[in-house]
Structure 1
Amino acid sequence: MTILQGSSLGFSKGLGRRILCSLVFALVIASLVVASYMLAGGKQDHLFQPFPPDSRDYSSSYNQSEGRRQKDIRLSDYSVVRLTDRRIPDIEELKQYEPHLFAVIPQKFLSISRSPCWYQKYEEKKDPYSGNAYVLYSKRFRAVFEEMRQNFWKRLLVKGDSRYRLRCLPYFYIIGQPKCGTTDLYNRMRLHPSVRFSANKEPQWWTRKRFGIMRLKEALQSPFPVEDYLDLFDSTAQEIQALYNAAKDTEDTVTSPLVIGEASASTMWDNNSWMYVYDNTTNTEPPHLTQDFIRTFQPNAKFIVMLRDPVERLYSDYLYFAIANKSVEEFHDKVNESLQMFNSCLQTFTLRSCVYNTTLNNLLTVRLQVGLYVVFLWDWLSLYKMEEFLILRLEDYSVRVLQSMRRVFSFLELEPLSVEQEATITQSPASNSRRPEDCSLGPMNPQTQRLLRDFYRPFNQRLSHLLRDDAFLWEPQSAV
């Protein structure tokens, strides 16, 4: 049995116990929600209180099927966000959970590339991509892999009777957040002559695929091995190898100017896998986070974070992912319901427990937790210095594209672009804009907006303090 097979077997073996734990937590949350609803009806000093009535009456336009209006709620005693330090796992502990990962990725990398690259002895004679899970799972990758397949054999490094393939990890990551402009940033960055990305924009490997999570709230599949993830960077690795081969013939020493990026917008916040994987903990907080593993192998990685007003982010998220019967009234109800569940959790568990709780996150009807930016950033900063992050606001980026892109390329230490190249990047049309049918719904209800502003305000205040920038308050005076 290989290490990978052993790891998969252990994963399956503990699944029943992990699901049982999740069900128990679900029952706890459900009981808290019921109790909170009951208490809210009779007492005014509990966590949720009726929101002051809006000047407009929405009761006639939603919840008609139930014949009643859902009571609005808000935070009343959580005005101070307390961010606590987390326990940082050591490398031996991480090895116990991902032995194969440590067997594949070395601790030191080559100097021929700014991206972390290394040589791996290649002894196979078959198609290197025939079993890649990304190809098998999605047909749209096949053309990309076919091109890599054609160049594969001639780009191997030959030393004596042995052949070696160049393997690489990203030099930088766009780690979040969803519906904050990451797709537009990704498409503009691709126009820089020295920037390369993975074969697909969002591999979601660190947060989902390595655990067998294909889509959220769906049954687990077979985990994607790290080799399949590394295959996504082979096209650039082949370019780097070709440059090295050419320089080797002239006895020149050269470092490739190419840098590899990866743009999974789940990397910053999604740790929903932990309840299925780490079943030997009695704590309600995850013992390990995604960044623990990334930091172990890439202590000098760079991270780009795109943020926007979390209130508007949530509405955009709802419009994008909701399938049918979307309305501002339904959104209002979902916000109320999700606030009730999240705040019920806070009555019993820590903030970090609730933010990272898989069961709760699957119960929420809108993704409130994704907008709690300061919680995620705080945990990333437990491992990396602030200098390793470039944090942009969508509100600034959208009106000052050129200045924003210059900041991005400077942060990555890339060569400046010509006027013509900058014009190409800035004149490119915006990506992933709101669909016309969603625009027709108009803005969210003012009452919904006030509910969400009350909820997110203390988190925005902590974020603003952490970043020393009042623009991250997203109050009217900080709007662009």
Structure 2
Amino acid sequence: MTILLGSSLGFRKGLGRRILCSLVFALVIAALVVTSYVLAGGKQDHLFQPFPPDSRDYSSSYNQSEGRNQKDIALSVVQLTDRRIPDTEDLKQYEPHMFAVIPQQFISTSRSPCWYQIYEEKKDPYRGNAYVLYSKRFRAVFEEMRQSFWKRLLVKGDSRYRLRCLPYFYIIGQPKCGTTDLYNRMRLHPSIRFSANKEPQWWTRKRFGIMRLKEALQSPFPVEDYLDLFDLTAQEIQALYNTANDKEDAITIPLVIGEASASTMWDNNAWMYIYDNMTNTEPPHLTQDFIHAFQPNAKFIVMLRDPVERLYSDYLYFAIANKSVEEFHDKVNESLQMFESCLQTSTLRSCAYNTTLNNLLPVRLQVGLYVVFLWDWLSLYKMEQFLILRLEDYSVRVLQSTRRVFSFLELGPLSDEQEATITQSPASNSRRPEDCSLGPMYPQTQQLLRDFYRPYNQRLSQLLRDDAFLWDPHSAL
């Protein structure tokens, strides 16, 4: 407890000064946008204006005034540079409690990374779990785990041991790319188990106390609360050990644990609250650095779609009121100007991970910069540890796609009946009827976004060696 408290106090240290710096930077960005409106003659004339006529010359893919070739733009704008990989001791400095709880080695008889933890408590193990405190939905789940908790403990002599587990695989992104549908189909596989909720958001948000984006920080969720989310499966694995004649019998059942937080791939917005350097810099540590410290052999599933359509779907899903294609166009214009303003003085990585800028963007433009985030993940993990699917392919070939997923996870083939159950399940998270009534985005908006994302898609297709990730049949590398 002392270590956890110390870590929490260290996390808060200097937060006021950092927030003040962040607000100053926010005002600067806002001023740039307001100035561009004034130069354009007011927002009422801005609806179909890519940029004010006399605005600065942004080095952007959607500013066509120079008539530059799109391939040249891709080479000059999308500079994917190597980053410094932090060592373990550096990571321990920021997360000492995490390193004290999670071991470096796991038991060999489980495909998921599991270990035994001595359990000396006599009280309710889930009473203070933050996921329960913040969400009533989990109370029934934790009540089920509570009822079977004590009989699942491993007893050796006078000591009791609790089996703890981390995920064998992660669905790490991206939002509005079909992750919920894939998650719901994968849950039907007899050998796959997921966390108690689909998106714990622990690695990217909850461990820092981020409950909702753009809201004040709350108390951080300790790593134990995250591990609790996998207790149902840990108890199931332990039950197999308890009832098997020997360990060889128990490990023939290939249970694997998954987690499906769609923010894991891209969201590092907490970094500016932790580190001293606030602007024009790149985050010294990323989420994957901490995952890799414990799970260098983890597997990752990534769902992607045309970033233009992803952004519109994202807007329709998360916007609360007064949604319209006109408003979306305005928000896209504002976001493009703000992001390109950042690129004038900062690196691409710095802008993609800039917390202040990301919180100010009217639409989440940065989430579609897939190649930036994937490049940083590949600085730690091998390409073979990723399965990257396109929603456009997945939605029309569900059976083939799910077979690829299960093969990637090294799970055995399913029967025809099991496959039918998985593939015939209704689609999840489809667009709401009221959102469908708005119709598609303006062609002008679509063109702005296609021009902006084109160089990033080109880099992505080069990295993956697959032209399908251009999302533009008329483009050439």
Fold shared by both chains (TM-score > 0.5) = yes
Which residue pairs with 1:208 in the alignment? 205
Cα RMSD for the two superposed structures: 6.1
Structure 2 counterpart SS, 1:84? coil
The answer for unaligned runs of 5 or more in structure 1 is none
Q: How has the CA–CA distance of structure 1 residues 71 and 88 changed in structure 2, closer, same or farther, with 3 Å as cutoff?
A: closer
Cα distance change on mapping 1:353 and 1:51 into 2, 3 Å: closer
Mapped contact 1:51–1:73 kept (Cα < 8 A): no
Show CA shifts across 1:91-138 (max 9, x none).
000000000000000000001210000000000001100000000100
**Pairing 1:70–2:33 present:** no
Shift of 1:476: 3.7
Q: SS state of the match for residue 240, structure 2?
A: helix
Deviation at 1:24, TM superposition (A): 2.7
Q: CA deviation at 1:17?
A: 1.9
> Alpha carbons of 1:453 and 1:240: their partners in 2 closer, same or farther (altered >3 Å)?
same
Taking structure 1 as reference, are residues 54 and 327 closer, same or farther at Cα in structure 2, changes over 3 Å only? farther
Maintained 8 Å contact 2:299/2:385: yes
Distance of 1:29 and 1:275 partners within structure 2: 16
> Aligned with 2:19: secondary structure?
helix
Deviation at 1:250, TM superposition (A): 8.0
Instruction: Please report how far the alpha carbon of residue 21 of structure 1 lies from its aligned counterpart in structure 2 after TM superposition.
Output: 2.2
Give the deviation of 1:11 after TM superposition: 1.6
Distance 1:306 1:193, change over 3 A: same
**What is the CA distance between 1:279 and its match in structure 2?**
2.5
My pick for the range that moved more, 34-43 or 397-406, is 34-43
Q: Which stretch of structure 1 is more off in the superposition, 25-34 or 177-186? A: 25-34
Contact persistence 1:73–1:336 (CA under 8 A)? no
Please say if 1:369 is aligned against 2:366.
Answer: yes
Give the superposition deviation at 1:247.
Answer: 2.0
Q: Distance in 2 between matches of 1:393 and 1:59?
A: 29
| 1:16-47 CA distance string (max 9 Å, x none) | 12212212322332344355556778999999
User: Which segment drifts farther, 17-26 or 301-310?
Assistant: 17-26
User: Helix, strand or coil: the match of 2:44?
Assistant: coil
Closer, same or farther: CA 347–419 of 1 in aligned 2, 3 Å: same
User: Structure 1 pair 28/60, CA: closer, same or farther in 2 (3 Å)?
Assistant: closer
* Separation in structure 2 between the aligned mates of residue 295 and residue 259 of structure 1, nearest angstrom: 18
Contact preservation (8 Å) 2:107, 2:113 = yes
Matches of 1:281 and 1:61 in 2, distance apart? 27
Which region of structure 1 is more displaced relative to structure 2, 27-36 or 265-274?
27-36
Q: Does 1:49 align with 2:49?
A: yes
Please give the alpha-carbon distance, in whole angstroms, between the structure 2 residues aligned to 1:222 and 1:8: 8
Aligned residues of 1:32 and 1:345 also touching (Cα < 8 A): no
Change (3 A) 1:26 1:475: same
Q: Secondary structure of the equivalent of 1:119? A: strand
Q: How many Å separate the matches in 1 of 2:371 and 2:48?
A: 23
Task: Give the drift of 1:277.
Answer: 1.3
Deviation readout 1:422-442 (Å, 9 max, x if unpaired): 000000000000000000001
Name the CA shift for 1:459/1:58 in 2 (closer, same or farther; >3 Å): closer
Q: State how many pairs are aligned.
A: 477
Structure 2 residue runs of 5 or longer lacking an equivalent are none
Q: Compute the TM-score of the two structures, normalised by the length of structure 2.
A: 0.91
Cα shift at 1:248: 4.8
Deviations 1:201-224 (A, max 9, x none): 000000000000000001110000
Deviates more, 1:276-285 or 1:149-158: 276-285
Aligned with 1:218: secondary structure? coil
| Aligned partner of residue 303 in structure 2, secondary structure | strand
Query: TM-score with structure 1 length normalisation?
Result: 0.90
Distance 1:201 1:128 in 2: 22
Taking structure 1 as reference, are residues 244 and 137 closer, same or farther at Cα in structure 2, changes over 3 Å only? same
Alignment partners' CA distance in 2, 1:148 and 1:108: 25
Which deviates further from its counterpart, 123-132 or 280-289?
Answer: 280-289
